[in-house]
Structure 1
Amino acid sequence: MEKAIRKKSSHRKFKAFTKIWSIIYLIMLTFFEMIMVFTNYFPARYMLVGALLLGGVSFILFLLLFFNSFKFVVKLIALILSLVLFAAFALGSVYALKTDSFLDYVSRSKNDDAVEVTEKPFNVYISGMDTGGKITNEGRSDVNMIATVNPKTHTILLTSIPRDYQINLVDKDDATDKLTHTGLYGINTTISSVEDLMGIKINYYIKVNYSTLYQLVESIGGIYVVSDYEFTSYIDHYHFVKGENHMNGHEALAFARERQAFTDGDVQRTKDQQKVITAVIDKMTSSTTLLTRYNKILKAISDYLDMNFTPTEVKALVRMQLDENPKWKIEHSNITGFDSYQTTYSSGNQEVYVMEQDEASVNAAKDKIKKVMHPNEEKNSDKSSNEN
């Protein structure tokens, strides 16, 4: 008799707890939904379907937990399921808020050259500084790459320009200098000078350095890169075979910086830098990497990245990727030139090595960018030629 009374008492306490818990659960669900709407990372149809499913399941769970007419076993199952969902809501809210905090930290609130990144093609200037540690405003730009992105054709063209390439400093009366030195005068000088060289508008920039690449590759568990040559790097003496190599952060950095092992020097280095970036993009866009290492990636690169994408534009790209899940086609282009020694703006009267411009190479790179940005114009031009 006493045992039955204790059992009945414990059931009453359990039912009282589930009633309180059902209210706490609803509060957490409401908070989670508000966070999802506020952060706005998911496509509208995903949000709608998710809200309907969670709302339906949560309504049933609330009824089972709040009202005492249901059996103990049923309420226990409902409690366990609500605990699992509660943990998922909490984790999802933390991830969304951390991502928002990350974007606010590394990006800009306004960009006068912004475009509708999911509707129109755009150019991103990738500037790799020759430093480690936190990103600074000035420093030589040793990696110089234009990423031309067409969100409609899902094509990315990476155009590399050698660090020693001859360039005119637009904001310094067109004085001649090496491209790498433009970074000493700030990213705006680099961008205006490259825009002048290529005859394009650069809408965005991303500044990275040695630490960015190392941290990023480490955070995603390494990358696979196909090397054109077998060589031992000058930096840290890593050995790479011709063909596929698995690289950790240190190895990827040494591979991307190497030029002394090659006859083509900086030209081959720019090709290898493209290979590393392509490998990182391929790894990061795989579903398992982002899902399992998302938090680690954000934490690893937050102090080593600067860009003028706004959080709104990044979120738009994320929503597009989730909604369409496109397979991006990555193409490569490399500008070349001629060896020469000249005086430059930064060297004064001293002659230094400069890669003199090759007009044919620059024009070929311009044509490739145009084809990616305006593929329909190329098709119409080809059609007109055939008709004539």
Structure 2
Amino acid sequence: MRTKRHRSSFKKVLIGFFLLISFIVVFLVIYSVSQYQKGLASNADKKETSDIEETTQEPFEGEEVQFGEVKILLIGSDARKGEQGRSDTLMIAYYNQNTHRIKLASLMRDTYVEVPGYGMQKLNAAYSFGGPELVRKTIEHNFDLDINYYAIVNFTGFPKLVDLVAPNGIKVEVENEMSTGIGMTLHPGKQSLNGEELLGYVRFRKDNLNDFGRVARQQEALEKVLAEAVTVHNIVQLPKILGTAASYVETNIDNRILFTMGKDIVANKTNELEKLRIPIQDSFTDQNVDVGAVLSIDLEENKQALKEFFSEENIAIKE
């Protein structure tokens, strides 16, 4: 008799436990959706005046994936309102939803490559000629690399996204005074930069390292922003962050896929960023051609470097 009562009590506890779990799951789903909608609503009026310009070029034809290995073309555009502009920053972000590895390859904008339909050009000219799809084709043509999605952030959106993710700023060490060409002066030393200041930090290139230093700072900044994104504060804010980001980012990534990847990255606290720069060290020469100063690269060596970097079996690649 006592055994039956014990079993009955245990069953009630078990049922209660599963009901509690179900309630929590339902609550989290409702909360996530509501926060996402709040993010969209809070920026609905800003969307009309945002500097993001929907491109009118041919549609992006990267193969869409639902799960597994995802490659996203990240474009930092120098376009102003009503302009197409050139890509000020070009990166390929990689995320594997099975291994939770995040990789980031920066492509130097002055890399001299063949742009389909336009001959030999600087890599960043592809965006001006044909938007993200032509950039995708150019990367595929030269480096035999498939890109699944794209995301464009311009000068207006970057600071706002940084301030949203890191309201207390991003800590960096400014090695030398930075002022030329960035509309502000950053003094040497360790400090926390807000969104506008961080934009100046990652855009500065008027020193001995020029674009090479800038690319290194861009990778540093993204790594630190990613680390902020997986903090406890931002785990709760994730739906709202994604909703708000929609106002400042032009992308072809479906909201469901974006939210799934965001939750996965946060849940696994994936903030270790593996980095690569193209062209890699000792694989290029500086040249002056009809389109200006370019980086003439060893195409095969850099193609192989990208292939190995995005392989799940890579160990280390020289920069």
In structure 1, give the amino acid aligned to 2:91.
M
Q: How does 1:340-359 map to 2 (within 5 A)?
A: 340-344=287-291, 352-359=292-299
Contact 1:154 1:326 in 2 (8 A): no
1:113 aligns with 2:113: no
Q: Which residue number corresponds to residue 255 of structure 2? A: 311
Q: How does 1:76-155 map to 2 (within 5 A)?
A: 94-98=34-38, 113-117=63-67, 119=68, 121-132=69-80, 138-155=84-101
Summarize the Cα distance change of 1:218–1:320 in structure 2 as closer, same or farther, 3 Å threshold: closer
CA deviation digits over 1:6-29, x for unaligned, max 9? Answer: xxxxxxxxxxxxxxxxxxxxxxxx
**Aligned partner of residue 334 in structure 1, secondary structure:** strand
Q: Which residue number corresponds to residue 143 of structure 2? A: 198
Q: Which residue number corresponds to residue 276 of structure 1? A: 221
Contact 1:222 1:249 in 2 (8 A): no
Summarize the Cα distance change of 1:150–1:113 in structure 2 as closer, same or farther, 3 Å threshold: same
In structure 2, give the amino acid aligned to 1:52.
L
1:210 aligns with 2:155: yes
In structure 2, give the amino acid aligned to 1:373.
S
CA–CA separation in structure 1 for the residues paired with 2:197 and 2:220: 13
Contact 2:100 2:265 in 1 (8 A): no
Q: Which residue number corresponds to residue 362 of structure 1? A: 302
Summarize the Cα distance change of 1:116–1:209 in structure 2 as closer, same or farther, 3 Å threshold: same
* Superposition RMSD in Å: 3.7
CA–CA separation in structure 2 for the residues paired with 1:353 and 1:369: 27
CA–CA separation in structure 1 for the residues paired with 2:158 and 2:277: 21
Summarize the Cα distance change of 1:239–1:180 in structure 2 as closer, same or farther, 3 Å threshold: same
1:52 aligns with 2:19: yes
- The structural deviation recorded for 1:297 is 6.5
Summarize the Cα distance change of 1:53–1:303 in structure 2 as closer, same or farther, 3 Å threshold: same
How high is the sequence identity, in percent, across the aligned residues?
Answer: 20
Q: Which residue number corresponds to residue 276 of structure 2? A: 333
- The structural deviation recorded for 1:241 is 2.9
Counterpart among 119, 126, 129 of residue 182 in structure 1? 126
- The structural deviation recorded for 1:205 is 0.9
CA–CA separation in structure 2 for the residues paired with 1:309 and 1:91: 22
CA–CA separation in structure 2 for the residues paired with 1:357 and 1:116: 34
CA–CA separation in structure 1 for the residues paired with 2:210 and 2:271: 29
- The structural deviation recorded for 1:315 is 3.3
Contact 1:233 1:255 in 2 (8 A): no
In structure 1, give the amino acid aligned to 2:77.
M
Instruction: State the aligned residue count.
Output: 280
Which structure has greater helix proportion? 1
**Aligned partner of residue 122 in structure 1, secondary structure:** strand
- The structural deviation recorded for 1:251 is 0.6
- The structural deviation recorded for 1:319 is 4.5
In structure 1, give the amino acid aligned to 2:286.
D
CA–CA separation in structure 2 for the residues paired with 1:278 and 1:142: 19
CA–CA separation in structure 1 for the residues paired with 2:62 and 2:205: 37
Q: How does 1:239-318 map to 2 (within 5 A)?
A: 239-241=186-188, 244-260=190-206, 262-292=207-237, 295=240, 298-299=243-244, 301-318=245-262
Structure number with greater Rg is 1
CA–CA separation in structure 2 for the residues paired with 1:200 and 1:49: 51
**Aligned partner of residue 109 in structure 2, secondary structure:** coil
CA–CA separation in structure 1 for the residues paired with 2:40 and 2:194: 28
Q: Which moved more, 1:247-256 or 1:137-146?
A: 137-146
CA deviation digits over 1:27-70, x for unaligned, max 9? Answer: xxxxxxxxxxxxxxxxxxxxx9998227779xxxxxxxxxxxxx
Q: What TM-score does the superposition give when structure 1 sets the normalisation length?
A: 0.62
Summarize the Cα distance change of 1:333–1:182 in structure 2 as closer, same or farther, 3 Å threshold: same
Give structure 2 stretches of 5+ with no counterpart. 1-14, 55-59
Summarize the Cα distance change of 1:357–1:56 in structure 2 as closer, same or farther, 3 Å threshold: closer
Give structure 1 stretches of 5+ with no counterpart. 1-47, 58-85, 345-351, 380-388
CA deviation digits over 1:218-250, x for unaligned, max 9? Answer: 2231443444732323223322435x4311011
CA deviation digits over 1:54-96, x for unaligned, max 9? Answer: 7779xxxxxxxxxxxxxxxxxxxxxxxxxxxx9x998665324
**Aligned partner of residue 231 in structure 1, secondary structure:** coil
CA–CA separation in structure 1 for the residues paired with 2:115 and 2:297: 14
Q: Which residue number corresponds to residue 23 of structure 1? A: none
Q: Which residue number corresponds to residue 8 of structure 1? A: none
**Aligned partner of residue 139 in structure 1, secondary structure:** coil
Q: Which residue number corresponds to residue 6 of structure 2? A: none
